[in-house]
A and B are shown apart, each in its own frame.
Chain A
């Protein structure tokens, strides 16, 4: 009898604890939401510096200054690129979202389609300082054409062809102005016996690969979607553009087959900084990693990623970068807009431009990411005049994953001794196109 009541008491307690635990997590979540009184914003920042900790160090004083000026506290979380998209997806799905978030600007149209983000209409745009303060091409990445964007540019990035000055001088080659010159220089600088290659490419990274599919196709004058947002992946310009890039490893043999395992851009940047390769094509935020690896800014030069001779188009990059979005269900809309205004004003942009090696997204602002005036001018020129935005359609994310992964597989086939023909590329792109069509 006594034992039974003991057991019953224990059972009730256990039940109570488990219920309390459920209740606890609930109240934990809602307290995060309902802290409207003391105005605390939750901010998810992407990884821009050399590490997540580095990002935190750079951002904390900037956010403290914002709190001093406005009394609004900011709760910062820095999220790595491998997790950011999934975290945002989860936040959209569950409604348990931060107030302000960084997005890769290429996701803008896809995320806009979820209807989870605050459109920057006239009022909101005025609240953050007016749309005229932004570089127009940068602002154009904020969402689908002809709609109120759901994101505004924060950090600008562009691709450039980095080359090692000493290696170029030793081989007696000039910085390339055309694709053919680039390949010729790379071949001259490829000495497999010395384990030296002309170029390093992140051939196992689907995000990097898809950017080059886009840029190379753009140089051929080809698009990936038609006016109605339908995929047009199998056009000749697209196939030839992809094949041209694959041929760097296949036909021209200027990249180490091991590059097929490089699943992020940092690996190719490290090869360049440690002088194993003479060239890389990378976004300007490579600067911080190159310098961190011990290569001086005077030891390398940058030219626009060249198009083939007589190309239809001189596109050298997509309009790359990071945008800021506000979740629609925020309870602190005004505070969030104030924060967006602060992050995109000239002072903050100048402060963050150097540590994050980003290009200014503001009109007439001077790049501060490098002391090398020539490099700064080259990147500004690429960003402002030679960049084309990735397709601003809701299916953009699917374009990235399907085409990018198809290219991973083709690079793997080449690296392991197989051959990829134009027909193979076309078949792979057809499969990617079908996948996009099936899920839209």
Chain B
């Protein structure tokens, strides 16, 4: 479209075109920058500057005595980091526990989301009546505002009045003792279920798009050769989706690891130790104790960890791709 409009006047008015080179250097030198400027400006404002401020905060003693006048906050050097990673101390120990919970939460949630997404995408691959309705239904968790969805889960998971216990205890009679879902050991399970419910449709959507690009005749040839469904999935679907999966798993992991909304809305101010995800832990460390320096140090540590994980992941998967 844009090519056509550009060429048409150029061919029709050769005279004008001759004059163009004189103007072009000035304009074409600046145009790219001009076009990029809003994006760069916003990127600076929204990402880079706050990140740099965060890093600066991690090196100062920014407690309640100084939040009204940041510039007066004394330099702390690595003090905040020392507190955060001193695992013999209550603060460091808490951070380490929270880190462990978050790792377990992320791994299980990503695996569950991927398996569900893959199963649904494969199941909806052949055309059948009502397929688009089912697809649309599957997208509901993704379309729903996160707060509304998680809040509904919060109601459903209440011990006395919740729908989950109503079904498990009153209707099915699986247990006589009403279990707690939002406090105690079950809290992690609840958190994983809710996060997976929220996330798996994204995996489904991405994998479904990926499946569309696999040529149908590959499957036809395979079935002529006598390959069953599982064999086809393992030898055709999975390798063809490799590039999609590489990105998908990374994105799912990063999102899950830094998930804040789910624990925040699900547990409110009464978050249980079993559901103490790291972003929420850092939020509490900063806002409840008003110690923004330590909170910032923890955030920087989290940033470094995620960068290392991403780096290793890209390095390993990149090398494998090149070899293959």
A residues apposed to B, CB below 8 Å: 1-4, 7-8, 11-12, 14-15, 18, 82, 86, 89, 92-93, 95, 110, 113-116, 204-206, 257-258, 260-261, 263, 394, 397-398, 401-402, 408-409, 412-413, 415-416, 430-436, 438-440
**B31:A11 contact, CB within 8 angstroms:** yes
Contacts of B9 in A (CB 8 A): 1-3
> Other CB < 8 Å A-B pairs besides A7-B35, A115-B68, 5 of them?
A4-B31, A18-B41, A82-B268, A113-B65, A204-B270
The 10 A-B pairs with the shortest beta carbon distances in the complex, nearest first, are A434-B90, A416-B184, A412-B183, A116-B68, A439-B291, A401-B288, A204-B270, A263-B270, A431-B90, A438-B91
What is the distance, in angstroms, from A279's C-beta to the closest C-beta of chain B? 19
In chain B, what residue has the closest Cβ to A207?
A: B269
Contacts of B288 in A (CB 8 A): 397-398, 401
Can you list 22 residue pairs at the A/B interface with Cβ under 8 Å? Answer: A7-B31, A8-B34, A15-B34, A18-B42, A86-B287, A89-B287, A113-B65, A114-B67, A261-B182, A263-B268, A397-B64, A409-B272, A409-B273, A412-B184, A412-B272, A416-B180, A416-B184, A416-B185, A433-B90, A438-B91, A439-B83, A439-B290
**A435:B90 contact, CB within 8 angstroms:** yes
Summarize B's interface: helix, strand, loop or mixed.
helix
Contacting residue for A89 out of B5, B38, B67, B284, CB 8 A: B67
CB interface residues, B 60-80, toward A, < 8 Å: 63-65, 67-70
**A397:B290 contact, CB within 8 angstroms:** yes
Contacting residue for B269 out of A257, A263, A440, CB 8 A: A263
What is the distance, in angstroms, from B1's C-beta to the closest C-beta of chain A? 11
Contacts of A7 in B (CB 8 A): 31, 35
**A3:B5 contact, CB within 8 angstroms:** yes
**B2 at interface by CB-CB < 8 Å:** yes
Contacts of A401 in B (CB 8 A): 284, 288-289
What is the distance, in angstroms, from B194's C-beta to the closest C-beta of chain A? 16
Known: A7-B31, A11-B34, A260-B180. A394 touches B90 (CB 8 A): no
Query: Number of B interface residues, CB 8 Å?
Result: 51
Contacts of B23 in A (CB 8 A): 1
Q: How far is the CA of A362 from the CA of B21 in the complex (A)?
A: 83
Contacts of B186 in A (CB 8 A): 416
Q: How far is the CA of A18 from the CA of B39 in the complex (A)?
A: 10
What is the distance, in angstroms, from B268's C-beta to the closest C-beta of chain A? 5
Known: A115-B68, A258-B159, A413-B184. A438 touches B90 (CB 8 A): yes
Q: How far is the CA of A92 from the CA of B38 in the complex (A)?
A: 31
**B42:A110 contact, CB within 8 angstroms:** no
Q: How far is the CA of A2 from the CA of B20 in the complex (A)?
A: 11
Contacting residue for B183 out of A3, A415, A439, CB 8 A: A415
**B16 at interface by CB-CB < 8 Å:** yes
**B279 at interface by CB-CB < 8 Å:** no
**A15:B90 contact, CB within 8 angstroms:** no
**B38:A205 contact, CB within 8 angstroms:** no
Known: A3-B5, A261-B158, A412-B272. A92 touches B34 (CB 8 A): no
What is the distance, in angstroms, from A280's C-beta to the closest C-beta of chain B? 17
What is the distance, in angstroms, from A322's C-beta to the closest C-beta of chain B? 19
